[in-house]
Amino acid sequence: MDVNGSLVLSDLIPILGWIDIKGMKKAMRRISKELDVIVDGWIDEHKVKRNKLGDNLVPEDFIDVMLSVVDDNFDPSSKHDKETIIKSTAMAVIIAAADTTSVTLTWMLSNLLNNRRAMAALKQEIDEKVGFDRIVEDSDLENLTYLHAVIRETLRMNPAGPISVPRVASEDITIRGYHVPKGTRFFANFWKLHRNPEMFPEPDEFRPERFHEKEVKVDIYGRDFEYLPFGTGRRSCPGMNFGMQVVQLTAARLIQAFDFGTPFDLPVDMTEADSTTLAKAKPLEVVLTPRLSPELYRQA
């Protein structure tokens, strides 16, 4: 992600494409080859398992499903072979969700540590609806409505992708008196949009209740153009559903399993770093106290 967000001079001045400042283009090519080898290995491993089990195979993960879908729906006239389709789709989903997922979890915990009332409310919901005798499962998530609100409020205040990927105007258009010619490249500022006080009163306050109590009626899919944590339309984040599932389950299990604190009970520094994904400027340091029986930690 650091390389992805680095300055490449030819992006601004194409004629200078032969200049590779700090070796960024070389690094991008190297990383691309490394990722290609890794994903190739994953696909080959799944193919071996698929050939070995045949009709007895039960899909266990994303690549299992992709292999089945592509086999059943492959268009022989396609410009790309099956392996390329599977590989590119897997890389798009995994790369899109990996860094943004860890960033979102870090901001969620940071916000909760600075808002202990919200932390207590989330902990109470998990304790009441799941309990202490088992670990949170996927099937529990639909009942954890305050958890959903906490994550949505985190994505509002600290969107992992604060600015959209580049878009291009398909035709001449005038917006609020500004003329935008066809072909203009532009970026949507999600961070600023999410702090619109007309849509989100007290926008700088972490308040999950605005989503939990339906004060604002928007969803994560960007259909309202007021709340766009994953973008919108055909170019929305391909890792959205995967990322949300991972964030929800991981967050629920962390809050269920541990009491969180900070060293010396100091507030968390919420300074944002300058990067493609909106990471914290300083690492999050926490103090963990187990809440469950030792047997459950061994099961996890």
DSSP β-ladder status, 173-175 and 178-180: antiparallel
Residue 290: enclosing H or E segment and its boundaries? Answer: strand 287-290
Greatest alpha-carbon pair distance for the chain in Å reads: 64
- How is residue 184 annotated by DSSP? -
Tell me, what DSSP letter sits at residue 175? E
Per-residue confidence (pLDDT) for residue 133, from 0 to 100: 94
Please check whether residue 50 is in contact with residue 66, taking contact to mean a CB–CB distance below 8 angstroms.
Answer: no
Question: φ, ψ for residue 164 (rounded to 5)?
Answer: -70, 165
DSSP SS3 for 260: strand
Q: Which two tokens stand for residue 100?
A: 């943004």
The pLDDT, as a whole number, for residue 234 is 76
Q: What is the pLDDT of residue 2?
A: 58
Look at residue 6 in the predicted model and tell me its pLDDT.
Answer: 61
Query: Is there a binding annotation on residue 237?
Result: yes
The token pair at 58 is: 């039960």
Q: DSSP label at 58?
A: -
What pLDDT score does 56 carry? 79
Give the span between the Cα atoms of 227 and 219, in whole angstroms: 7
Domains of the chain: 106-299 (1.10.630.10)
pLDDT in the model for residue 5: 57
DSSP 231: B
pTM value is 0.79
SS3 content of the chain, % helix, strand, coil (to 5): 55, 10, 40
- Contact between residue 251 and residue 130 where contact means Cβ atoms under 8 Å apart: no
Q: At what angle do helices 82-113 and 24-53 cross, to 10 degrees?
A: 110
List, run by run, the mean pLDDT of 10-residue segments along the chain (300 residues): 62 74 81 86 88 80 83 80 83 73 94 98 98 95 96 95 86 92 89 94 96 84 83 77 89 97 96 84 96 88
